[in-house]
Amino acid sequence: MGRIDKVTYVTASPNDPAVVSGFAQAIPLVSRQLGRRCLSSIGGVPRETSRSSVKKSPIDQRIVVATTARAEEKDFVDAISLAQKAFPSWRQTSIEKRTDILRRAAELTRLRRFELATWMIYEMGKNWLEALGEIEETADLFDYYAQQMLDNDGFTHRMGTMARSDTNTSVMRPYGVWGVIAPWNFPSALLAAPIAAALVTGNTVVAKPASDTPVTAALVAEIFFEAGLPEGTLSLLYAPGELAGRMLSRPEIAGATFTGSFEVGFRQLYQNFSVQYPRPCIVEMGGKNPAIVTANADLEKAATGIYRSSVGMNGHKCSACSRVYVAREHHDEMRERLTELFKKTAIGNPLERDTYVGPVARQEVLRITSVMSTRRAAQMPSTPAER
C-alpha cells in the first residue's frame, strides 16, 4: 500500500499513492458494512434497548449508515454503578499499564485509519484528508497524554519543606467516575481524547457520543478495549442530549468534560454541575474568531489560511473563519486572491478523491444557516451609498 510518514489536515495529499491505495481498499470494505447495528456498551458489554434511531448519510439520504439502540435512564444508572465498582481497581493500576493501553490504542487507530476515516466520511461528509487528519490527531492525542504522564512521573512531585524532617509531596489523585459528552463535528478526536485523558489519570468513564456519528463512537470504544482496557472502566451510551446531560450531572459523577453548544454546555451542564459541592466541569463551547490581515502580511499565506479555515471540514468547526479584517491597502488584492480560491473549490461527493467540500452534515445546520442569512439580509442597507 505504501507508507505515509505523517498525516495532518494540510500536509498530506489526496494524490499520494498510499492515500489512494488506502481508500481504494477501505471504501468497498465499509460500504459492505453499512446499516450496522450500534448498541450502547455498559462497561464493554453490549446492551440492546427497545428504542432505536436511524442514522442516514449526509452524502445520500437513501444510505442508512447505522441504527442505534437508544439508552434509557436505567442504562445510565447501571453504567455509573459499574464505573464506581471498577474505579478502586483502575485507580491502583500502574501508570505504566495505563500508558501502555493508550500507546496500543494509538497504534490500533493508525493501523485502521483508512477504515475509520471512511466511516467518518459516510457519517459526517468530510473529505478524505479531513477525515484522515482527524484519525491521526486522535492517535497523536493518545500518545501525547501517555507521554505527559510518563514525563511527569504521574504528576507526583516532591515539594519544599520547612524542616529536614518534613516530607511534602504533591500527588495527583483521580476523581472517580468521569462523564464525557462529545460533539458531532470531530466525532473521533473530541470523544476519544477526553476519554483517554480521564482514563490515563485513573478515572473510569461514562461517555455519550454524538447521535450523528454512532459508528465512529463504537469504533473508538472497540479500540480502547482491544488495546487492553478492563471491562467496567468505560461505558458508551447513545442517548438524547437532555437525558445524557441530566444523568451525567448526578452526584455520583465526579467530573465532566463537554464539547458542544453554549446552550447545553453552560445553561444545562455547567450551571447545574457544582450546586451541592465543587466538582471539575470542563466545557468547551466553541466560537468563531476573525482573521486579521495586517499591512505587512504575506498575502498568499493569509489567503490560503483564510480559505482553508472557512471551507475546511465543510465549515463545521468552531475555528471556521467567518469574518476577515484586511488592511485597507490590501483589500482589493485579498478579495481577488480569495475569489480565485473559492472559484476553484471542488464541491461534491466526499468519497471521491478530488472533492474538497462535501455536504452539510445536518439538516439542523442548514436551517440555522438559512435563518441567519435571512436576518443578515434584512439588516443590510438598502442602497449602495448606505453600505
Rounded CA gap, 183 and 187, in Å? 6
255, three cell numbers: 467530573
Catalytic residue, chosen from 242, 318, 329, 352, is 318
Phi and psi torsions of 178, nearest 5°: -110, 135
284 catalytic per annotation: yes
Phi and psi dihedrals of 289, rounded to 5?
-95, 150
Q: Are 27 and 128 in contact (CB under 8 A)?
A: no
Q: Catalytic: which of 72, 107, 252, 284?
A: 284
321 is catalytic: no
- For strands 156-158 and 169-171, give the pairing: antiparallel
Cell of 198: 480521564
Residues with catalytic annotation?
Answer: 284, 318
